[in-house]
Structure 1
Amino acid sequence: MLDVGKWPMFALLPPQDLCSIRLACVFGMSGNETLYVTENDEVFTLGTNCSGCLGTGDIQSTIEPRKIEILCGKRITHLSYGSGPHVVLTTSDGDVYAWGNNGYSQLGNGTATQGLAPCQVSTNLQHKKVIEVACGSHHSMTLTSDGEVYAWGYNNCGQVGSGSTSNQPTPRRVSSCLQDKFIITIACGQSSSMAVLDNGVVYGWGYNGNGQLGLGSNGNQPTPCRLAALQGIHVCQIVCGYAHALALTDEGLLYSWGSNAYGQLGSGVKSNQSCPIQIMVDRERVVEIAACHPTHTSAAKTQCGQVYMWGQCRGQSVILPHLTHFTRTDDVFACFATPAVTWRLLSVESDNHLTVAQSMKKEFDSTATSDLKFLVDGKTLHAHKAVLKIRCEHLRSMLHDEDVIEIDQFSYPVYRAFLEYLYTDSVNLPPEDAIGLLDLAAFYGENSLKTICEQTIKQGISVENAITLLSAAIKYQAKILPVSRVIPAFCVIKVDHLYIHGLKHTVKYWFSASV
């Protein structure tokens, strides 16, 4: 379990408050600002309050935690911060809030006025669900659930990706060559931005004076540019330090590029690299990488749980990955980074006492431990052969020595839901897609899954989707469409005496739509 007491800021809290913390972040130019979320979803901040970054509505420093009422109960899921400092976060509902320094419009509210309290960022995001946020020193980015990136703030080097160097006062979609691409993760350096596509391709834009975009040159880029040096390499995670970047592939390989004055690339020398280079961590498979733009420190965790650090570590330059006694990359930044900040929103929940069911759910579609990939509709799903053989008789007979299997008879949402069911015993699909999953369940001989699908469809039938469900049933040639109720309404559209065969008896369907 993470010990937040390793960050000096938490030494100000009494033990009973420390025990209540569920999420936490330490930020600021000197690591002197703190935000934390309690188990009952209350949000508190304390610290020096530079530029009003504590969100308390004033600029008063405090060593006593102050509650931020507007954020309580919002279920914060992701948070990032700039060095102004400013803070940007998103909630489980996909809403975005920002506050703090706003000298370059990095709060996205269309002004350059300091934000002393959290305010929702809504321009161009009101109909979007944001799942990830990232901040450079004075610019901000968000990633939406439909794979789009929006950016705003300081743009002197093109870090907003708009094609110009004019500051961007409100969120604007980063399009250009990303227009039709699906982004899965984003990261920011001091004045640079990175994005990873669902096919593992990496793009970078913004300041490139130290080669931190990995393009093989040192010229700034005002629009996203693909990292050609990573051609054929599937990147699944990317992080940025002040002027360097680390990338992790789906095979557990680690690459780095950019500034190297403190050895933060882990290459064994201090010369900058404008092209990605592979870094060896004692020939271990890497499962997590860590860096953040206020520091020149890097860290990585291997599959066997060992944590390595390199770069600027307590004033020393460590030029090769150095094995630590830590069990989490977070501890590297608490004990050795300057300033002692957090590289991500900390989760204080313990990973050491998960039930079997919780452990299985946690490993679904995990790139860290999987040994099998499914390609469906051009997208990748990660799985574990042993789990699939245990859980599904059909897959047991189907799986042999393959590492990659292409699936063309089922859609991506349907096959993802099927694999998730094998890991969790639950189905999370709209009734329209549940018909496709019902078809899969019948084909694979999964009777329990068929029952769950039938219940999902029954519970999801409404006047609005009845015709859609019927069309889906015909499309999938479902042998069972378990509709057990008639929807009474004043009929404008009425499908009367329509029969679908395949049950022990014939089921009669009456679908109607009200005006």
Structure 2
Amino acid sequence: MEEEFFLLCALYGKSGKPVQATLSSLKMLDVGKWPIFSLCSEAELQLVRQACVFGSASNELLYTTVNDEIFVLGTNCCGCLGLGDVQSTIEPRRLDSLTGKKIACLSYGSGPHIVLATTEGEVFTWGHNAYSQLGNGTTNAGLVPYHISTNLSNKQVIEVACGSYHSLVLTSDGEVFAWGYNNSGQVGSGSTANQPIPRRVTGCLQNKVVVNIACGQMCSMAVVNTGEVFVWGYNGNGQLGLGSSGNQPTPCRVAALQGIRVQRVACGYAHTLVLTDEGQVYAWGANSYGQLGTGNKSNQSYPTPVVVEKDRIIEIAACHSAHTSAAKTQGGHVYMWGQCRGQSVTLPHLTHFSSTDDVFACFATPAVTWRLLSVEPDDHLTVAESLKREFDNPNTADLKFLVDGKYIYVHKVLLKIRCEHFRSSLEDNEDDIVEMSEFSYPVYRAFLEYLYTDSISLSPEEAVGLLDLATFYRENRLKKLCQQTIKQGICEENAIALLSAAVKYEAQDLEEFCFRFCINHLTVVTQTSGFAEMDHDLLKNFISKASRVGAFKN
């Protein structure tokens, strides 16, 4: 933030032009898709920043405002609104005990019960507690938020997940803690006794760093930083993906995903979805409504690929209270499958929505939110946003690059501050036009825009050229961003070309990713023209490395 401030000061220092304060309309969440929001006035909706719709009939609502106040309304089953009573309310009531707390994440169970983590890593629970799912050591209903400190006092919680009547939290150091109902081993303790207070889930997770957690009705999932998935709890529908239907009282690795690097996991009522780093989705478990997206209604106890056109998936969505699945592609298309207002959709269906949240608002039963919704205000420009606006602005620029016959307008002082190359090349340069022929216009424009935004906006194909530039200019962070973008465009046809580029530009992370992709798609990759035209030394090294990992074993 300090760097952005000084950049902005420098940017306007010479011209003396003031930063124009603009006020634009709020980027409002289309909350009208959830009927319970009709109980709020238009003025109240304007203040909403985060929201969660929950309950067996989607009759409860919690939301935060611009002032970090938390409001609740609804039927208040089991005191799940946290107001200290069980009285229903059709008017928003402020949850005074949490006023000023900023919510980082929130989840809810079937009772319902609520587990909330603040931005400071604190955990609060309230609501239904017949199975100790509030983690306060009792089975008494929690009518007001309870701050959990037992075993979590020195921990910062960054993610929470609720099953039907059990709870999980993930800490910043990659540890998972669980408590609550344990009839099927869903708290991972090795027994089936209910767990009244948070207890760290160990076993196979003892020395692992967990990066993502999720809960089905009576099962639990964890993704570790190596991309492996560990599962435990109820398995009657094969929702653990272990090839069996026996319950699992302690974490067990999903062996069928060997060689596949998972990034996210999402759980439905009794089915599971995972998203890989290649943008592929796998599903398993119950399939009575077609929620696995396989085209039939047969349960699957092993991970099964979900085919969504040929576009890369960037988001998966499921909720333990529903039999509905959803996914969003890199191109912005949203698909859904499974239960759709009582009907069965057995293959991914392209919707007209732009958000997976809308799938659950309009199609799921009950119509709840599958995650905490966030609405960002757009009523003022931050320093970073102001800098972004000045990129390629001829009105304030004092330098322009001529690339492929097109101008790109920039500011010398910003380039000097942000890039070592420009710090020296522009030092004694009094010209206001610099011609560039070494790189293409899209690549060089993306590079200059990166200096203003800290992000790149480029197709995976063109990002290879930007990787070349990043290597030439020794921009290591840009090099990492390029590798991430290139990964998103990998396919069987271009895998060898991308592997070659990774080796050429010494992009080790991308090289490992491309090699693993080639091994996972070896039959098709070896039949491509890219493989046939592969550089001799690269081919030799590829075959040697593939042999070492057992790629050619029968």
Scaled to the shorter chain, the TM-score interval is 0.7 to 0.9
What corresponds to 2:193 in structure 1?
A: 166
What corresponds to 2:281 in structure 1?
A: 254
1:53 aligns with 2:80: yes
Structural mapping, 1:305-320, within 5 Å: 305-320=332-347
Distance in 2, Cα, partners of 1:369 & 1:209? 45
Structural mapping, 1:140-289, within 5 Å: 140-289=167-316
Give the residue type in structure 2 aligned to 1:103. Answer: A
1:4 aligns with 2:31: yes
Deviation at 1:285, TM superposition (A): 0.3
Kept after mapping to 2: 8 A contact 1:370/1:384: no
What percentage of residue pairs aligned between the two structures are identical?
63
Give the residue type in structure 2 aligned to 1:240. Answer: C
Change (3 A) 1:126 1:215: same
Deviation at 1:384, TM superposition (A): 8.8
Change (3 A) 1:331 1:143: same
What corresponds to 2:101 in structure 1?
A: 74
Deviation at 1:349, TM superposition (A): 2.2
- Which segments of 5 or more consecutive residues in structure 1 lack a partner in the other structure? 373-382, 408-515
Give the residue type in structure 2 aligned to 1:39. Answer: V
Give the residue type in structure 1 aligned to 2:275. Answer: L
Distance in 1, Cα, partners of 2:466 & 2:377? 26
Change (3 A) 1:394 1:340: same
Other structure's SS at 1:229 match: helix
What corresponds to 2:507 in structure 1?
A: 405
What corresponds to 2:63 in structure 1?
A: 36
Distance in 1, Cα, partners of 2:44 & 2:465? 43
Deviation at 1:5, TM superposition (A): 1.7
TM, length-normalised to structure 2: 0.67
What corresponds to 1:394 in structure 2?
A: 474
Distance in 1, Cα, partners of 2:312 & 2:251? 30
- Bigger RCO (CA 8 Å, 6+ sep): 2
Distance in 2, Cα, partners of 1:34 & 1:345? 11
Other structure's SS at 2:37 match: helix
Q: Please list the CA deviations of residues 19-48 of structure 1 after superposition, one character each: whole Å capped at 9, or x if unmatched.
A: 110000000111100000001110000000
Other structure's SS at 2:227 match: coil
Change (3 A) 1:272 1:124: same
Change (3 A) 1:395 1:189: same
Q: Please list the CA deviations of residues 22-77 of structure 1 after superposition, one character each: whole Å capped at 9, or x if unmatched.
A: 00000011110000000111000000000000001000000000101121111101
Distance in 1, Cα, partners of 2:123 & 2:80? 16
More strand by share: 1
Give the residue type in structure 1 aligned to 2:507. Answer: I
Kept after mapping to 1: 8 A contact 2:464/2:501: no
Change (3 A) 1:331 1:20: same
Change (3 A) 1:23 1:328: same
Q: Please list the CA deviations of residues 178-200 of structure 1 after superposition, one character each: whole Å capped at 9, or x if unmatched.
A: 10000000000000000000010
More helix by share: 2
Change (3 A) 1:319 1:25: same
Change (3 A) 1:227 1:37: same
Q: Please list the CA deviations of residues 144-202 of structure 1 after superposition, one character each: whole Å capped at 9, or x if unmatched.
A: 00000000000000000000000000000000111000000000000000000001000
Deviation at 1:388, TM superposition (A): 8.8
What corresponds to 1:101 in structure 2?
A: 128
Distance in 1, Cα, partners of 2:290 & 2:360? 16
Give the residue type in structure 1 aligned to 2:101. Answer: K
Deviation at 1:255, TM superposition (A): 0.5
Deviation at 1:389, TM superposition (A): 3.8
Give the residue type in structure 2 aligned to 1:284. Answer: D
Distance in 1, Cα, partners of 2:55 & 2:288? 22
Deviation at 1:126, TM superposition (A): 0.2
What corresponds to 2:361 in structure 1?
A: 334
What corresponds to 1:462 in structure 2?
A: none
Kept after mapping to 2: 8 A contact 1:388/1:395: no
Deviation at 1:370, TM superposition (A): 9.6
Deviation at 1:386, TM superposition (A): 3.2
Give the residue type in structure 2 aligned to 1:297. Answer: T
